[in-house]
Structures are given as C-alpha cells and as structure tokens.
Structure 1
Amino acid sequence: MGDHEDEQPRHGGDGDQPAGRSRRFPALRRAAAAPRRAGRHTGVRRIGVTLAVLVVTLAGVLLGALAGGQVGTDIGPFHAKLSVSPAASGGTTIQIPPLGALLLNSHDGPTHLTVELGALDQSRVEALLDDPASLNRATQSAVDEVTDGVLRLGLRTLGATVLATLLLALLVFRNTRRAAWAGGLALLITAGSLGTAAATMRPQAIEEPTYEGLLVNAPAIVGDVRKIANDYTRYAEQLQRLIGNVTQLYTTVSALPVYEQQPGTTRVLHISDMHLNPAAWQLIRTVVEQFGIDVIIDTGDITDWGSEPEASYVGSISLLRKPYVYIRGNHDSGRTAAAVARQPNAIVLDNATTTVAGLTIAGIGDPRFTPDKSTSPAAGGLNPPTADELITTGDTLAATIRSSPQPVNIALVHDPAAAGPLSGTCPLVLSGHTHRRQIEKLPEVPGQQPTTLMVQGSTGGAGLRGLEGEEPTPLAMTVLYFDQEKQLQAYDNITVGGTGQAQVNLERTVINQPLTTPPTPTPTPTR
C-alpha cells in the first residue's frame, strides 16, 4: 500500500506534465499561427483596397472626362465644341456636320480630341466678308483661338476628373483617406495622359488628314494645299515667260488658214471661268492689245466664293479699256456682279440685252450660287431639279430675246445646259462652266435660224483647282471675228499650256463650212 501510495503521486506528478502539454498543444499551435493568418489577411485586404481604389479612380476619370471634358469656343465665324475622351490611341477628329469629318494622327497617348464645328454666326460672317482686314485678322487669330480652347479644355478636364473621382470614392469607401488617394491618383492619370498628348503633338498632321463622310471628295475639290502652292509658284514663273511669247502670235499668222479681215470686222474676245487666277489678266491684256479686240465677253465664274475680299480682283477690268460684257456664274455672288458693274467699262447682263460695237448681246446670270461645288460637271450629270432650273433660265432669256427690238447676235449663259431653249432665237450662244472647249449645233427649230453653241474652256486654268493634276489646266480664250453684217466668219482658239509645256497654241478656224465639222487645228508653238 505504501509503495502504491508512494508511486501514485509520482505518477501523477511526473506523468501529468506530458499529458498536459499534449492537451494544451492545439491551442498553442493556434496561438502561434494567428499572427501569420492575420498578416496574410491584412495583405490580401490591402491588395483588395488598392484594386478598389484603382477601379474607382478609373471610373471617376472616365465619368469626369465624359461629363466635364468639353468646352465651347469661337474659331473664326464658327462656334465650336472641343471635347476630350479616353481612347486606346490618340488623334483628333474634326467634325464638320453634315459633310463628315477629318481624322488627324495628331498625337499619341490615351486621349482623343474632338473638334465639332457648329453653326456659323451670320453677323460675324457678314462682317468678315465685308472687311478684308477683319478676314485677315480672323485667319491669323484662329490658331490662337484653338490653342486657348485646348488649354481651357485641359484644365477643365483635369478638374472634372479629380472632382468626379473624389465624390465617387467618398460614396464608395466613406473614408476620406482612401478618397484622397483616389483623387491624387486621378490627378496623376489625367495629367499624365494630357501631358503625353502635348509632348507627342504633331502639327504637320493637319496636312495629311483622313476623310470621312461626304468629305471623302474634299481632295478632289480642294486638293493638296502644299502641292497647289508649290505648283502655283512654279506655274507662275513659267507663265510669265509664256505670256511674253504671246507677242509672237502675229508673226505666225501666215501659217494659219487665210482669213481676209474686212475693214468693218468686229473682234470679240470670249473668256470664262477665271476663278481668281491673277495671271489671267496679263494674258488677257496682251491678247486685247495684239489682236485689236473691240469687245470682251465674260461668261461667268470670275471668282471662287463670291466674297467681298474677292471683289478687288475684278478691278483689273477697268485696265483693259474695252467694253466688258459680263454674266454671273454659279461661283459669283450678287456682290461680285455689283463689283463688276462698278467698273467704268463693264456691262452686267441679267436677263437683259445691250448693243456694243454694233453687236446686240443678250445674257442672263446663272440661277445658282454654289461656290462650294466643284466647277467640273458631275459624272452622273445634273440632277432633275437643277436641270429644270437651268432650262427655265434658258426659257426666260429666250423670251427676252424674242421681245428685243433689235435682232440679237449673241446670247450668253454660264452653263451650256441652259442653252437648249435658245435654239432659233439667235445665231450664236456662248457659255463656259465645264472648263472644256466644245462647239455644237443646237437642235433646230422648224422655221427658225440655226444656232451654234460655243463652250469656252477656263481662262483662269480652273484657278488653284487646275494645279492638282500632273500638269495644270491650260488657260483658254477665243477671239471671234464678225463681219459687217455681224455674222461670225472665223475664230482663233488661244491656249496657254501648263507647266512643262512652255508653249502657246493658236488654232484658227475659218467658217466656210458648218461649225459642227471639227476644225483642223494649226498649233503655233512659241518657246
């Protein structure tokens, strides 16, 4: 018993320690593992919070850019809206409703600039057209206006994205510290994006746009500005030499078909579609002097846009010191016609007749004013409303001719499509518009005299548009010879070749056969 009693405390004392540790070991393990689990939980939580702040920041930047990333500004006569938006790549879109858009590869970075040209301010447009000085100032200040608008857009976008991000972060986290982190990150992202765009800006991108919508036809209408400028300089230099060569035309008349001019011959110079080409005036003056011209007839499109600044171009009419009979083309406005009428030697016809140098001339202006249209006829022809409008114009002039007390020798229309109703009213109709010479007989009216239509090329070489091809459009004009009875006896087609040709051609046709028979050209090269 004693032994048993002695062993029990020893058993209980010595054996109880391992058994106790064994029972307490899971708790110790849990206690030891708790800091590690807390650390992992804290790390995951921090990553989650960081991702949440980043997501909220990106959402705030997007919302702020869409809501506040736009400003309105005046660019010349336009009221424009500038806006910036997140994008996979940079660039600029210039929207010109309803014509389409120009796409410019203007910069890199995740921001896209959109410039939408809105409505024209009519009062500003009229002020610009009336005052050439203000027009010059407007073109010079346009760049400054765009720059100012873009700077205001950048600051507004920066403020809008930061504010939107702060509000969104406060709403989501309800924690000012996290909201502050989100706002700072939004500031960094927006400033970095805008800074990248500014640092990679390519101003030359404006010279190489991509066209969308109806503006895909813009290169064919307006052309490459740099190419036109370069070609025009080269063209003008050669044209000076060509114009001097016109003086040699008389020395080669002996090689042309013989036409004995009678003492009472009236010489008419037919020009058309000058389109603001300044070199055309010098050529016209040379021909007027060398050929002894009595009357100049201009069948329209003397300007391109019919604006007030262009009106100064017609001042050269008075220097010709010969009667100048003019009708308005579709590129000429009422202002243009008024400017021509102010020249002391000019006569503007608009459904009226006049007698000059013994010739009775009737003329009417084009019913359209479409300065934004191409001068060349569309491949598909005229649409029905326009064709009807032109035919009505021809009918109106035909009625005026029939009521004239004097028989009309020459009728003038700008577009040959208006000439049909004039058949039988007079022997000759002159027109332009197509920039291509053409002679044809109008369908005869029973019991009426036959009528010939002569379409002139472009005396201005189609203006700047004519410089787009490999060779500029040649300058064209025609000298018409009328006898004492005011019947057309002969005509000389004069053509000043384009760049690289360096020649002036004169083709004389003596009318001893119907005009519908193609004349035999006799070119007279002068170098």
Structure 2
Amino acid sequence: MNKKILSARAAVRRTWQRPWARRLSVWAAVVTVSLTGVVVGTMLFAQSEIAVGPFRADMSISPSVEGGTEVQIPPLGSLHLDSHDGPIHLKVDLGSLDQERTEALIDDPTAISAAGQSAVDDVTKGVLQLGLRALGAAIVCALILSALIFRNIRRVAASGVLALVVTGGGLGLAAGTIRPDSISEPRYEGLLVNAPAVVGDARRIADNYGRYADQLQQLVSNVSRIYTTVSTLPVFEPAGNTTRLLHVSDLHLNPTSWGVIRTVVKQWDIDAVVDTGDIVDWGSNAETSYVSDIGQLGVPYVYVRGNHDSLAIQAAVARQKNAIVLDDTTVTINGLTLAGIGDPEFTPDKSEDPPPDNADELVSSPLLTSGERLATTIRGGKTKVDVALVHDPAMAPPLSGVVPLVLAGHTHKREVSVLAAPSPAPSSSVAPPSAPAPSPSAGVTEPPQKTRMLVQGSTGGAGLRGLEKEEPTPLMMSVLYFDETQTLKAYDDIQLGGTGEQNVTMQRNLVGKDEPEPTTDPSAISGVTPETRPNGSLPPGR
C-alpha cells in the first residue's frame, strides 16, 4: 500500500516538473492575482461624488452577477432599477444634501424643475467618470499586487493587460445592455408610507415611459420636494383625472390586513377598494364581525364572494355603509364601471375531490357557467364595463373579448396573463353554390378586444395557513391606475413580509410592456391544474 502511495506521489511530482505544467501553474497564478486586483481595486477605489439637483450623490461600482442600479434615498428607502446586465452593479447614494442648493430650491420653486432638467447630464457625466476611475483602479491594483508577488516584468505586464480586458469588457457589457426606460419601472424598498412620494405619479410615467430624460427629471424633482419640505413628507399629487383602485383578495381573517389597507388607501389616495373574495375562512356567523373594518376605510369597498364566503358573510359586507356587493351586477365609480359575480361554490371545509374525468364536465362546471352568466349580463347592459371581478380565475374564460380587464384571486399567487381570444361562432347556414359572393366589406367585424387578467396574491398572507410553511406567506395587494378613458395605464404591486416580518417592497409595472402571451388552454389559466376543486376549479384549501 505504501509503495502505491509513494509511486502516485512520484508521478504527480514528475508531472508538475514538466515545462507545460509549470507554465500552466504560472498563468493560473497570474489570472488569480489579476482578478483579485480587479475586485480589490473596484471595491475600494471605484467611487466618485457628483452633484444631482440638491444632492451630493456618492456613486460606486461593485462586481455583480445580475448588474442593475440601486438608488439609496435615506431615510425614505431605496429604488432598484433593472438598468443593465452584469457583471457590474451601480450604486447611487443620495444621502448628502448640499445646504446652498437646498436653500436655493426653497427660495425659488422653479429651481426644482431646473435641477431635474440638468439631472440627465449630471448622471451621465458622473457614470463616465466612475467608469474611467474603475478601469484605472483595477489596472493599478492588479499591477501592484502582481509586482509584489511575482517580481517579474512579463507577469506583471500580463496581469495589467488581463485587468484591462476584464474591467473594460465588464464596462462594455453594461453599456451595451443599458435599458434607459428601466427608470419607469422601479422596485421600491423601504417604508410603505413613503413609496408614492419617492416613485411618483404612475399615470405620467405610464404615458411617457420611453422618455428617459423626463423620468429622471421627475424622480429628482420628487425627491427634491421631499427633502425641501419642512413639516411633513409630501405625497406626489396625481393628475386630477386619474382613478386609482386598490385590488385586495383572500384576506382570510387576518386582522393585520386592515391596518395595511388603511395605510395604502391614505398614502395612495385610493378612490375605491376592490375585493375579489375569501374575506373569511369558514363563512360562519361568528366571522361576520371581521368585516366591520370595511366601514372605517372611507372609500367605496367593492366586493365579490369567494368560495370561503357564505351568503351570511356577503350580507354582512353589504351592511357596511361604504360596501358595494356585486353578484351579477354592475357599479360605476369615478366613471369606471365594474361588474362582478360571486363564486358559485361554497367550500370552506378544504376537502379535495378528484378532478373531472372528461372535458365535458370541465366545460359545464359551475365556475364557467357563472362566468358566462356575467358575460351575458355585461353584453346586455347599456353601460360599457371596464373591469370584471371574479374570485376564481377559472371563471374568467367566458369574459375574454367582453371586457378589457378581469381581476381575480383564489390562488394566493400573483399572476398576469392575457386571456385567449374567444372562438368565432360557427355559421348557422351555408350559402348555396349559386348565391353571389359577399363583398369584401360585407359582414366584416372588428376583432374582439384583448382581455388582460390580473390575479392577486393573498392580502391576508393566506391567514393561519400562511404560517404553516417555513417562511410566512407575504401580504400582497396592488394599486391600479386608470386614465380619463378608463384605460389601465399602470399598477403598483405591493408586498409585505408575512406575519412576523417587516420588509416591504413595491414594484411598478407599465401596461403594454413585456405583454404576456395569451393563454390558449382554459385549464391552464392561473394554475388551474389537475389538483382541483369540485367541477374543475382550484382546491378549496386556498
């Protein structure tokens, strides 16, 4: 045994004594030292300070796999932009406020707009300076480190060249993949009450998301107004003709949900709250007191029944002074018309039945029947319906082409999709061969409108079920922005850490960007899979 070990050691020793092995080890060491120098130089010296509006902004670059930009706005929070791909991450810290510039903004309100107009040039100049500084720091650190280790001019030069290639390539990749319009869809992290003030008016952003300069100017103006107001933090005033709905769903008796909803209603200046069902767990009379908080919100509360909600719960909601229960009915708020229908199945016991054996049972399910009933009501109404409300996404297919937007819940998972276009009705008669051919314009109809479906996560963090997993289910809700033509322009997805957690994130989304593909299989809508409720809907345990 000892002879075999000694023989193996001797073989390894002979291999490393060969010229090519020695050269390989030397070049591996050169690469390692050079990359170490790049990382150290970038982390320690790739920093610069620029003036952006009233701020002394500290900018820095660090190695990263995903890239992107982070804008720190202490103490309000931070904005995260998907501005470019890796391997470089840009961080901008607006923590330093220039006293003279701030006083000038307070004395002259027009100075805020002027500061915003110069923000693009300031940031562009600062990023270029930072890139050159990062390149120089990486090369110098790599040269110094290799000189200390190798003491060989060729290896030192090779380290410097490698640092130049790596750093320059990283900067080139970031510049080549830059996405200027990412500033229109920021992800906010920080205090919930500050989110609308920092991010700004979604209506204006949605209308102009392709104009990078305008958005950067608006961002600087928003933050400038916050810092220059002495008494309270201002909320950015929206356009007067913007209607804002707060979409909640699946509260499941979570008492903390009402406090969050009240905060969002106040800070976002919400016009109405829309609840797509499952407000309680069992539908019992003892749970009716939970809905009493609806009356404290101060705005209309539009509700459709979920599969966990009984008729007694629906009646308790209807008794609230500001509540509007939709059950195959419509309502108009600020010119925006909503129609809704309750879930036809009451399944609070969480029992699971096997899925239907054939497609006929799925097609004839009470869920689709209810969806068809609502679609018939909408078609027969005199007022154009802008938003349809259902609880289960499996109710949505009949509404395709009937309304531009469907809101749903039930799955405890946030999803956005475009419903498959409805199939054209078959012709009831066939023209005889001798009949004249119709003219090209005869019988021409406009294509059906595209129907987008937004499925909300659980605003109650799935209730007690949200604590069954290792990580609690987060609380989710969305703010929807409609313009004067009742068209959805943008929506903010708000997510709070589950019970016992404090983190808050908000993602702005612009309608029309990265449009999802239409869903062609009704059984695939929002995860309607073989694990189903009776007659083909999702399991009632949700």
| TM-score, normalisation: structure 1 | 0.49
Structure with larger Rg: 1
Counting helix residues as a fraction of each chain, which structure ranks higher? 1
Q: Which fold has the larger relative contact order, with Cα–Cα distance below 8 Å and residues 6 or more apart in sequence?
A: 2
